[in-house]
Amino acid sequence: MTERQILEKKGGSSDSLVIAGKEFSSRLIIGTGKYQSFQQTKEALEASSADIITVALRRVNVFKKDEPKLQDYIDPKQYTYLPNTAGCYTADEAVRTLRLAREAGGWDLVKLEVIGDKKTLYPDMEETYMAAKTLIKEGFSVMVYCTDDPIYAKKLEDIGCVAIMPLAAPIGSGLGIQNKINIALIVENANVPVLVDAGVGTASDASIAMELGCDGVLMNTAIAEAKDPVLMAKAMKLSVTSGRMAYLAGRMNKKQYADPSSPMYNLI
C-alpha cells in the first residue's frame, strides 16, 4: 500500500504536516533573513504559502526608536513564528536565547541550532544534544537542526525532539542535498517529522527532499537570494507539493536497461 492509500484508508484525505500535535497545511517553512525589505519578505511569504517562519532574536537597537519591526509586516497571530538560535556556539547560549524568545513571544515550538564553525556553520552535535536535553526538560518543543548522521538523528529523537532537521548542505550554500542516502536513512528510522533544513538552492532540491520521504523543507537563502524571490517562493511551494505527491504516488522502479513504452507486437 502506498502512504496515500494508508492515509485514505484511515479516513483522512488531508495530508497536513503535524508537529508536536499541531497541524500545518504547508510543508514548506521559510526563513525571514536576507531579504531586501520587510515588504519583500512579506510578499515572498505569501507566495510561498508557508505557515511557519523562522525568526532570530537580537538586541534591540535602542537608539533607532522608529525602525520598522518584522511583526508590523508579518502578523504573529496569522503565522507561526519559530524562534531560532542562529549565532549560538554553545548549548548555554542556545538555551539562554530560547528562554528569552519564549519570554518575548510566548511560544514553546522552537528551532535549535548550535554551530561549531563560522566558515561552514556546521552544527556542533555535542552542544546541540546537550541544549536539546535542557530545553526539552523545560517544556520546549524542539525542532532540531542537525547533521545528516542517522545515529545522532535517532538520539535526538529519543530524547524528545519533536522534529529532526538534517542539513542538505551548509547554510546559505545552495548546493542541494549532498547525501541522499543519509537523508533516506534518517527518514526510514524516524517516528517524528523529518525536514531538510539548510543548503537548498533551487526548486528541484526541495522536490528531491520530499521524494525521499521528508515531511517538509526549511529554507531561507534559496528564496531570498534568488533574482526574483517572490517567483522563487512560488516555485518552492509547487516543488514541495509536487515532490510530496510523487512520494505518495509511489514512483516507478528504476531499471538497468530499457523497457519500451509502446507495444512491440503488430509492428507493420
Restricted to residues 66-85, the positions that interact with other proteins (CB under 8 A) are 69-71, 81, 83-84
Catalytic choice (42, 77, 111, 180): 111
Restricted to residues 93-152, the positions that interact with other proteins (CB under 8 A) are 96, 99-101, 103-105
Q: Compute, in degrees rounded to 10, the torsion defined by CA atoms 208, 245, 155, 140.
A: 110
Quick one: which of 189, 179, 180, 181 has its CA closest to 156?
189
- Judge whether 111 counts as a catalytic residue: yes
Taking phi over 0 as left and psi of -120 to 50 as alpha, with beta for the rest, 174 belongs to left
What DSSP character marks residue 252?
A: P
Minimum gap (Å) between residue 264 Cβ and other proteins: 53
Residues 76/85, Cβ–Cβ less than 8 Å: no
Q: Cα separation of 59 and 57, whole Å?
A: 7
What are the residues whose beta carbons fall under 8 Å from the beta carbon of 186, sequence distance 6 or more? 148, 150, 153, 164, 166, 194
Q: Does 31 bind other proteins (CB under 8 A)?
A: yes
- Contact with other proteins (CB under 8 A) among 1, 12, 21, 65: 65
- Contact with other proteins (CB under 8 A) among 57, 132, 161, 214: 57
Stretch that binds other proteins, among 15-23, 56-64, 129-137, 152-160 (CB under 8 A): 56-64
Q: Does 1 bind other proteins (CB under 8 A)?
A: no
Minimum gap (Å) between residue 86 Cβ and other proteins: 5
Minimum gap (Å) between residue 143 Cβ and other proteins: 13
Print burial letters for 207-245: b (CB count within 10 Å at least 16), e (below 16).
bbbbbbbbbbbbbbbbbbebeebbebbbbbbebbbebbe
- Residues annotated catalytic, as ranges: 111
Q: Which residues are near other proteins by CB under 8 A?
A: 31-35, 38, 41, 54-60, 62, 65, 69-71, 81, 83-84, 86, 96, 99-101, 103-105, 171-172, 198, 220-221
